[in-house]
Amino acid sequence: MRTLSYINFIISILFLACYAYQAVYLACALCRRPKVFTAKKNHRYGVLIAARNEEAVIAQLIESVRAQTYPAALIDIFVVADNCTDQTAAAARAAGAVVFERQDRYAVGKGYALRFLLNEIYEHYGEDAFEGFFVFDADNILDEHFIEEMNKVFDSGYEVVTSYRNSKNFGDNWISAGYSLFFLREATQLNRPRMMLGTSSCVSGTGFLVSNRILRQNGGWKHFLLTEDFEFTVDCILKNTMVAYCENAVIYDEQPTKLGQSLMQRARWIKGYLQVFNRYGKKMFKKMIVDGSFACFDMIMNNIPCLVLTCATLIFNAIMAVAGIVTRTPDMDICILFVVTGLVSSSLTLWFISGVTCITQRKHIHAPTRKKVLGVLLFPLFVFTYAISMLYAVFTNIEWKPIQHTVALSAEEIRNLRKK
């Protein structure tokens, strides 16, 4: 039993060693104000939207882009209707976007759709028509000042900029609330202090801006792993390109509400993280050790240790408990004690993190107070279900599959929610 105690103690110490630096992030996020940016020039941008069977929501996104305070003459909207079997292309054209249709059942995924769309733009408009490109998912809605605020950071010399990710449907249930708190925490407690401290932020799927120079240098869009956003972030860091963060640029997206769908999506994320580290891990460790890259350390610590240590803890204690029951070994209740202690301490930590997020961002969460409180209370449950996704990701083959979106809120409806 002493050996069991030692192993669990060592795992706890490793968790602390991997994530203690995020306490500094939290203190920085709470105690310091973000830098204020201004722009001397309005740049010309292309908007890239990869959409697969998104006719229910695509028009609302395009309308929110067209309703920006940024000069409309400097924005062109492009949609790739990717392997669609519905009226996504027609809905996008009717809303005012330039649409290219793609049918390819082999090269499946957002990365391949973006590559196709960029190649079409370069062919029809030239490689120098736009200074930068925004990337959005079809279910997104933009705050009316989004592009104006992103342009301020871009004009200050940052070639990759990510934004503040909010949610349309925080109050739907505990799953959508869990996602919302997760992304709000990433924006305000991770990306905000990263920006303040001069290290790299992390692109989170959607709502980011990349310069045309970088895309041309890369030969277009070249990231095709299951988490193409994280792959892009790592590639930028390895090339000494900092990913900046713009807190005043707010984007809203729809979160899943069904547990099965959520587990599969998070399993895909975890599988994607493993793919990224399989491809770039050696380079990241080398850059971290040789160049002293804190950004590489941050990206490594923020993803893989949690996966490895959590799975190791679950599997180890489960095996020991079963072995103890079968062999009738005395004192095996220590396994149960470790599991219960771990769950309690983890829950307290997660309640603290989500509580701080909810309190500091309460004006930006569009849901009744009781649903905010319920979201915080059930946030540990949301995070604990990651264990199921982790095990599924490690032991099965996962392919990219689209998430169905149905929350068709307009930008005006979002603004009305903000006023309540």
- Written as one string, the DSSP assignment of 138-193 is TT-EE-TTHHHHHHHHHHTT-SEEEEEEEES-TTS-HHHHHHHHHHHHIIIIIIHH
Number of domains, the chain: 1
Check residue 420 and give its pLDDT: 55
Check residue 275 and give its pLDDT: 92
DSSP state of 99: E
Terminal Cα-to-Cα distance of the chain (whole angstroms): 56
C-alpha triplet 9, 345, 368: angle, nearest 5°? 155
3-state SS, residue 65 = helix
Check residue 122 and give its pLDDT: 97
- Distance in angstroms (rounded) separating the CA atoms of residues 317 and 334: 10
Low-confidence ranges of the chain (pLDDT < 70): 1-5, 8, 304-308, 310-318, 320-321, 323-339, 342, 400-420
Domain residues for the domain of 376 are 1-420
- Strand locations in 198-347, DSSP E? 208-211, 243-253
CATH number at residue 308: 3.90.550.10
CB 133 within 8 A of CB 215: yes
- Distance in angstroms (rounded) separating the CA atoms of residues 70 and 42: 8
Is the pTM higher than 0.75? The answer reads yes
Check residue 2 and give its pLDDT: 61
Tokens of 99: 């649409």
3-state SS, residue 134 = strand
Return the closest-CA partner of residue 95 out of 65, 73, 135. Answer: 65
- What's the residue count for the chain? 420
CA 254 to chain CA centroid, Å, is 13
- Measured between alpha carbons, how far is residue 201 from residues 34, 233, 294, 349, 350 in Å? 14, 8, 11, 23, 22
- Distance in angstroms (rounded) separating the CA atoms of residues 15 and 384: 16
Task: Provide the 10 A C-beta neighbour count for residue 215.
Answer: 21
Return the closest-CA partner of residue 54 out of 103, 89, 28, 14. Answer: 89
Model pLDDT for residues 191-230, shown as the tens digit of each residue: 999 999 999 999 988 999 999 999 999 999 999 999 999 9
Concatenated DSSP letters of 347-371: HHHHHHHHHHHHHHTGGG--S-HHH
- Distance in angstroms (rounded) separating the CA atoms of residues 317 and 122: 55
Check residue 46 and give its pLDDT: 98
CB 325 within 8 A of CB 332: yes
- Distance in angstroms (rounded) separating the CA atoms of residues 355 and 30: 13
